[in-house]
């Protein structure tokens, strides 16, 4: 084999090997990024579930408090005062 063909073979072999290594590490980086995205999504779903449970608990507590109290709207208070509001 001539020197030029040896250098060409060496160059193409190095290029192919470096391409394979680059693609391998690129795929690993993408895999890690996707995994981090999944972890972040799962954490957001957990927080959302906790907030929904807190909201439901607050709704239940509000319903219990309303059972024990008389709650009036602003219109009802105005009607009780007779003139439809303060200063009228």
pLDDT by 10s per residue, the chain, length 88: 899 999 999 999 999 999 999 999 999 999 999 999 999 999 999 999 999 999 999 999 999 888 888 756 777 767 777 655 555 4
Decide: 84 and 78 in contact? Cβ < 8 Å.
yes
DSSP state of 73: -
Q: What is the pTM of this model?
A: 0.50
Length of the chain: 88
**pLDDT for res 86:** 54
For residues 21 and 28, give the distance between their C-alpha atoms in angstroms, rounded to a whole number.
11
**pLDDT for res 55:** 96
């Amino acid at each position: 084999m001539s020197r030029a063909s040896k250098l060409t073979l060496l160059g193409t072999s190095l290029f192919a090997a470096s391409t394979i290594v680059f693609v391998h590490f690129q795929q690993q980086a993408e895999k890690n990024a996707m995994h981090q995205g999944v972890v972040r999504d799962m954490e957001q779903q957990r927080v959302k579930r906790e907030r929904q449970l807190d909201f439901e608990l607050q709704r239940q507590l509000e319903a219990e408090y309303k059972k024990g109290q008389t709650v009036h709207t602003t219109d009802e208070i105005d009607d009780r005062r007779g003139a439809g509001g303060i200063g009228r």
